[in-house]
Chain A
């Protein structure tokens, strides 16, 4: 009987033995005119129906991913003495923003098989189908993409940034930069033990332009002619206004 219980417990373990209860400081980011980045605080608890398993410590991985978009990575080379874009590689999908926060060094939180399954690490999020036919060394281009975006704060790997207390409560803060694109930001929390994912929770944060930003952007895409004419009208009005003001100042 005792053996049977133990087997049952083992079978139940990979299912919902430990679950995430999540809170977000905000589930919506509004890009208004004075937007200069946003800090999202992600906090939560691990819910358990059973005692804490003792085999390996629990770890938490939090990811936030911006909308996927195709991009082109170009490399400069020296042609006739000047530096020119020569090779280019199309990346079929890369997130515009991707942040990972973990509760321990990367090698301790996730093994390669589960990374492959859940697409967690930064290189796993970048899909480059058919890249081999375009350039000789696609890996170099993907590395460059990751490097540039990391320098710009668009891709972040913060090891140990998740604060985990008593294997139960966790919290982390993820900084979103000022140059964000709009869209649904997929937010995921993984609980891992010994590198294996034991539980996963997904939600999303909506990032959108609001107010004047929204209005101008929509107008420029939907009514480009009217937008162009409006820009010209503003320019001419400003030019005329300036000229009139100068005359007033000189005569006055």
Chain B
């Protein structure tokens, strides 16, 4: 069944969108990630204009994170105080990101920026995760307990604050900076940034793993919500029909994914996720490196 998307102004198969939403939903349920980093490139591949894909994906992430955070709130695994500090940084970052996005759109380089961001971040995160989970598997085999660094340079910074749920007493500067960076990425890449936020919280801020996912989801709702509004009011690129179709698929898929995820070991899951991230990264990198069959592209008029 073809469906006409009013903002993207293209006609796509509704079942394809439901299927994509479902597939990414399964993965996000399995791995506990938002899935935006997979969905946005997939939307590029099926011919949704990149600007619409990025803005609409931000809207979809609001839904999936909201659904996720409710579950974490019930289990009391959300550090609201830390979430708010991250959020302040996130909102500043999102505003900066949308400004950068609009500037590059006028230069005609927005596709390049979005793709480069994807290649760089997916490549780095994917490789780190792959190496880290390989080491974890080796350690569990040899039986050594994993160690975590308790004190580093971050504890020497001023403006300290006590975060009770996380059991931390640290400066607010690192969380604000992490928030800003993730906010910029959310606006430019149309992702929640969970795949960057989660490692940053564990390794940089030293937060306990059990509160990390909930807290990250909590602040992602607001950052992506804010990003959606900014894109809707400055670029008019949020496609509600597209968002709803992806949502329906995503919500059902996440349910199935959670069941599958519960049956696999954490290290195995992380390796699978790492491989998937690297595969998406590789595909995008090839597109940039190999000479495209069509060198020309048509865009709406605007400066250049």
| Interface residues of A, Cβ cutoff 8 Å to B | 31-37, 69-78, 81-85, 88, 90-91, 141, 144-145, 147-149, 178-179, 181, 209, 212-214, 216-217, 220-221, 224-225, 227-232, 234-236, 238-243, 246, 249
Contacts and interface: CB of A to CB of B under 8 A. Distances in A.
B244 A234 contact: yes
Given A74-B299, A85-B112, A243-B67, A225 B232 contact: yes
A242 B225 CA distance: 18
Given A235-B62, A243-B71, A229 B298 contact: no
A236 B63 contact: yes
B295 A76 contact: yes
Interface in B33-78: 59-60, 62-68, 70-71
B60 A235 contact: yes
A178 B7 CA distance: 14
Given A73-B296, A214-B6, A234-B247, 14 more contacts: A34-B3, A34-B4, A35-B2, A70-B301, A74-B297, A75-B295, A83-B290, A88-B304, A217-B6, A227-B232, A238-B244, A239-B63, A243-B68, A246-B71
B209 interface: no
B243 A209 contact: no
B93 to A, nearest CB: 19
B108 A72 contact: yes
Given A33-B241, A71-B301, A235-B66, A213 B296 contact: no
Interface string B72-95: 000000000000000000000000
Contacts of B158: none
B250 to A, nearest CB: 9
Interface in B83-113: 108-109, 111-112
Q: Is the interface of B mostly helix, strand, loop or mixed?
A: helix
A149 B60 contact: no
B20 interface: no
A149 B296 CA distance: 11
A76 B297 contact: yes
Contact of A179 (B9, B60, B288): B9
B297 A229 contact: no
A217 B67 CA distance: 28
Contact of B225 (A83, A216, A232, A246): A232
A217 B66 contact: no
A143 to B, nearest CB: 9
A90 B301 contact: yes
B292 interface: yes
Contact of B109 (A84, A181, A220): A84
A224 B296 CA distance: 32
A165 to B, nearest CB: 35
Nearest to B71: A243
A214 B292 CA distance: 36
A108 B117 CA distance: 53
A147 B297 CA distance: 11
B9 A228 contact: no
Contacts of B71: 243, 246
B288 A83 contact: yes
A91 B297 CA distance: 13
Given A141-B296, A231-B238, A178 B247 contact: no
B300 interface: yes
* Nearest 7 Cβ contacts at the A-B interface: A239-B66, A228-B232, A178-B11, A144-B296, A36-B2, A70-B301, A235-B63
Contact of A243 (B70, B233, B300, B304): B70
30 contacts: A34-B3, A34-B4, A36-B2, A36-B4, A37-B11, A70-B301, A72-B302, A76-B295, A81-B289, A84-B112, A90-B301, A144-B294, A148-B298, A179-B10, A181-B9, A214-B6, A220-B240, A224-B232, A225-B233, A228-B233, A231-B240, A232-B62, A234-B63, A234-B240, A235-B228, A236-B62, A238-B63, A238-B247, A239-B68, A241-B251
